[in-house]
Amino acid sequence: EAGVTQSPTHLIKTRGQQATLRCSPISGHTSVYWYQQALGLGLQFLLWYDEGEERNRGNFPPRFSGRQFPNYSSELNVNALELEDSALYLCASSLFGQHSNQPQHFGDGTRLSIL
Amino acid sequence: AQSVAQPEDQVNVAEGNPLTVKCTYSVSGNPYLFWYVQYPNRGLQFLLKYITGDNLVKGSYGFEAEFNKSQTSFHLKKPSALVSDSALYFCAVRDQSGTALIFGKGTTLSVSS
C-alpha cells in the first residue's frame, strides 16, 4: 500500500511570501494531521483535518491554515512567511481521528526554507 | 497537561548489545503511547503502540516497549542492537483532545560496530 506522500520535497521562499504544501494520505484514511519539526523546537502539532473540516489546531498563528479536499488530500498554507517558519513540515494520516487507538502514519515531509 | 519526557539526548551502544531508550509520560486518564523512529531526511516511522492490555508491547524490527503505570514510563528496548538501528527515536502520547500527538524531544541512538 502506498504511504503518505508529500510535495514538494523542498521549498525555498523569501520573507513575506506564501507557501503551499500538499499531502496525500494513505488510501482509506480520512484524518490528516500536520506537524512542524523546527530545529530546537521539536515536533509540534499544527492542524487536524477530518472529513473535510478543520477539527483541531495547535498553538500557531492564523497565518497557518489549510484545507482538506473531498478525496481527503490536504494542503497547508503558510502566509506572510517569517524566518522562523523554516522547518520540516510533516503530514500524517490515520484511519480514525479522535480518541482512536490507530497510529498516525507520516510522510517524508516538506523542507521549507525561508531566505 | 499531557507531556512526554525523554531524559537522554543520546544513547550509545555496541552492536549486539541490548538497548534501552527511556520515556516517561504525564497524562490524565489512560495513556495512548507510541514510539516512532526517524532516519535522516525522512519522516517518522511507526514502531509500536500501547493502548491497553499487556505491559510488554512488541513492534517492528525487533523492538519492544515496556509500559509501567506506577513509574509512568514506556521504555523502548531491543535485545540485540544493529548498526542500522542508529537513528532518532521519538516517544509520543495522544493529547487530551484525543487527536494530536505530543512528542518528546527525541533521543539519538548510535550503534557502533
**Residue A97, pLDDT above cutoff 80:** no
Q: What is the mean pLDDT of residues B92-107?
A: 89
Mapping DSSP to helix (H, G, I), strand (E, B) and coil, where does residue B89 land? strand
Asked, as a colleague might, if the bond just before A8 is cis with ω within 30 of 0, I would say yes
Residues A96/A28, Cβ–Cβ less than 8 Å: no
Mapping DSSP to helix (H, G, I), strand (E, B) and coil, where does residue A17 land? coil
Residues B24/B71, Cβ–Cβ less than 8 Å: yes
The mean of the pLDDT values for chain B is 94
pLDDT tens column, B28-82? 888 899 999 999 989 999 999 998 888 999 999 999 999 999 999 999 999 999 9
Encode burial over B69-90: b for 16+ CB neighbours within 10 A, e otherwise: eeeebbbbebeebeeebbbbbb
CB < 8 Å to B102, chain A: 45
| Residue in B2, B44, B57, B108 to test binding to A, most A beta-carbons within 10 Å | B44
**Residue B1, pLDDT above cutoff 90:** no
> Which residues on neighbouring strands pair with residue A111, listed in sequence order?
A10, A88
Residues A30/A88, Cβ–Cβ less than 8 Å: no
Cα–Cα dist A45/B104, whole Å: 12
Cα–Cα dist B95/A98, whole Å: 10
Given this model, what pLDDT does residue A101 score? 78
Cα–Cα dist A24/A91, whole Å: 9
Cα–Cα dist A24/A74, whole Å: 7
Instruction: Report the percent of chain A where pLDDT is more than 70.
Output: 97
Given this model, what pLDDT does residue A58 score? 94
Instruction: Report the percent of chain B where pLDDT is more than 90.
Output: 82
Given this model, what pLDDT does residue B63 score? 97
What's the pLDDT band for B92 if we cut at 50, 70, 90? Answer: very high
Residues B25/B4, Cβ–Cβ less than 8 Å: yes
**Residue of chain B with shortest Cα separation from A50:** B99
Cβ within 8 Å of residue A16, ≥6 positions away: A80, A81
Residues A93/A25, Cβ–Cβ less than 8 Å: yes
Mapping DSSP to helix (H, G, I), strand (E, B) and coil, where does residue B60 land? helix
pLDDT tens column, A16-39? 999 999 999 999 999 999 999 999
CB < 8 Å to A4, chain B: 43
Residue A103 at interface with chain B, using a CB cutoff of 8 Å: yes
Contact B99 A98 (CB under 8 A): yes
Given this model, what pLDDT does residue A99 score? 66
